[in-house]
Amino acid sequence: MPSIRPKKRFGQNFLKDQSVIRAILEAAELDPDDQVVEIGPGLGALTENMVGQTSRLLLLEVDRDIAALWRKRDEDGLQVVEGDALSLDWNEQLHPGPWKMVANLPYNISSQVVFKILEHRDMFTRMVLMFQREVAERLAASPGGKNYGILSVLCQVWFDIRKVVRVAPGAFFPPPKVESMVLCFDRLPSPRVEIADEPFFLKVVKAAFAQRRKTLRNTLTGAGFSREQVGQGLEMASIDPQRRGETLTLEEFARLTDALNSLSVDHG
């Protein structure tokens, strides 16, 4: 591929380490029948190993110069869409599913990509994604730790997440200032906990983590629930009001959501 200079505004750090590339592809377990989407193919460290290996390979590339180079490739099943992955209509681009996603995500959009994946989670069976290590640790975190947060809860309701490999800065060009980590997400056949009202669940989870040093009683009261509703809801869910949001399990978040939702309905 002709010389392309990494563009800072796109958060480009091109992967070059062959052992990391192998680990990502092994985790993806690609089959000839798979449809694969890659966000930010860049110079093709992953892409070159996937071209011709699956029924369809869709590249989403915001960099006009790189998109133009990939468009010149005449390969069966290869499709290039130029644009910002966050702005593109995934319902249009990723129809019909299912899909696997394999990507070295630009760090400046990785969390937003995860939120978009959650919105379209039924499209995906497996995703193998590179993150800044700090973000990856948050996604895979267990209750009670400092890394446990909103994305930990939301992702783990619908996906099984495992760490694939830690990646040193030297695996990229140019090297980033931080370590990276690859995670593998497998969509669960059914969510770990039943959620009747997803927007309300998201509201409760966001509220619980809004002020991490505060107790649930205080942080939920500050998020639009009355003190009476919070007290009753925590009691109904059998949760100590002095606990903090980062200590709640998925099951406890689901119980608390149901309790607060029923009280909100009761109170109009």
Give strand pairing partners of 128.
102, 184
Q: Is 158 found in the same domain as 85?
A: yes
- pLDDT for 213: 84
- pLDDT for 267: 46
- pLDDT for 268: 46
- pLDDT for 129: 99
Single out the residue of 162, 69, 73, 65 nearest to residue 57, CA to CA.
73
Q: Is 75 found in the same domain as 145?
A: yes
Q: Is 131 found in the same domain as 214?
A: no
CB-based contacts of 58-62 (< 8 A; 24+ apart in sequence): 58/93, 58/94, 58/99, 60/85, 60/88, 60/93, 62/10
- Show which of 156, 187, 218 is a domain's final residue: 187
- pLDDT for 4: 59
DSSP state of 243: S
Q: Is 151 found in the same domain as 208?
A: no
Residue 192 maps to a domain: no
- pLDDT for 12: 61
Q: Is 212 found in the same domain as 145?
A: no
- pLDDT for 145: 87
- State the pTM of this model: 0.92
Distance CA 191, CA 194 (A): 6
Q: Is 227 found in the same domain as 152?
A: no
Q: Give 4: exposed, middle or buried? Use CB within 10 Å, 0-12, 13-18, 19+.
A: middle
- pLDDT for 212: 82
- Could you read off the pLDDT of 216-268 as tens digits, one per residue? 999 999 888 899 999 999 999 999 999 999 999 999 999 999 999 998 865 44
User: Where residue 232 sits, what CATH number does that domain have?
Assistant: 1.10.8.100
Q: Is 128 found in the same domain as 95?
A: yes
* Residue-range definition of the domain harbouring residue 230: 198-266
Query: 107 with 119: CB under 8 angstroms?
Result: no
Domain count, the chain: 2
At position 220, the amino acid (one-letter code) is L
- Could you read off the pLDDT of 207-227 as tens digits, one per residue? 999 988 899 999 999 888 899
- Show which of 140, 166, 187 is a domain's final residue: 187
- pLDDT for 140: 98
Q: Is 227 found in the same domain as 96?
A: no
- Show which of 160, 187, 214 is a domain's final residue: 187
Q: What phi and psi values does residue 230 have, to the nearest 5 degrees?
A: -60, -45
The 10 Å Cβ neighbour count of residue 80 is: 18
Residue 3 maps to a domain: no
- pLDDT for 266: 54
Low-confidence stretches of the chain (pLDDT < 70) are 1-12, 265-268
Residue 2 maps to a domain: no
Q: Is 121 found in the same domain as 15?
A: yes
